[in-house]
Amino acid sequence: MIRIKSGSRDIWPGFELDIERELVFEQGQVWQLKGPNGSGKSSFISRLLMPLLRMEDAYVLHFEQQASLQLQAVKAWAAIFHPGRPVRDEDELVSYLLDDLADAYSRLPKPVWIVADEIHRVERIVQSGLPCCLIYCAHHKELEGARALNFEPLSPARSRVYA
């Protein structure tokens, strides 16, 4: 379980998030971060959520907003360690990393956290069947049953966050 206490958080110089009430993320949940561009969703992920997840004894899979950079790194890794398994696009990136995670989980089960920031294959994560908490941001995709975490700009320097 990950808890983020309520209150105002300085995210970047000149930008704050006002978290209305404590946020609790648990295994088995799916959360969708919603709000317009610039409202703090990606900053919430990088500055608040990911540091907490990195402290956990868990598997953490983070699909970053600029997946093209991640794609190049995983493509190189796969070419060296799995030369028969090409990773050419975002779909193959998602499949490769989910398969690797499923293999690790089968050998040593522990909590799984998947954070996906503007990845186009978010439904593939749900279909993987991995027991996890999925937290995603995608303007193009709604997943049935996802809990909404809303980001509402109050000014250029502040956004309100509420469930």
**pLDDT surpassing 90 at residue 141:** no
- The answer on pLDDT for 139 being more than 80 is no
* Count, residues in the chain: 163
Residue 19: pLDDT above 90? yes
Residue 19: burial class (beta carbons within 10 Å; 0-12, 13-18, 19+): buried
How far is the first Cα of the chain from the last one, in angstroms, to the nearest whole number?
A: 17
CA atoms of 45 and 32, how far apart (whole Å) = 12
Q: What is the mean pLDDT of residues 100-114?
A: 96
What does the pLDDT read at residue 142?
83
Question: How far lies 109's CA from each of 55, 60, 67, in Å?
Answer: 17, 13, 27
pLDDT of residue 133: 96
Structure tokens at 133: 């908490």
Q: What is the pLDDT of residues 76-88, one digit of tens each?
A: 999 999 999 999 9
By CB atoms closer than 10 A (0-12, 13-18, 19+), residue 58 is: middle
Per-residue model confidence (pLDDT) at position 58: 97
How do residues 30-75 score in pLDDT, each as one tens digit? 999 999 999 999 999 999 999 999 999 999 999 988 777 889 999 9
Could you tell me which residues are beta bridge partners of residue 152?
160
Listed residue (43, 42, 39, 33) closest to 150, CA to CA = 33
**CB hemisphere CA count around 126 (13 angstroms):** 17
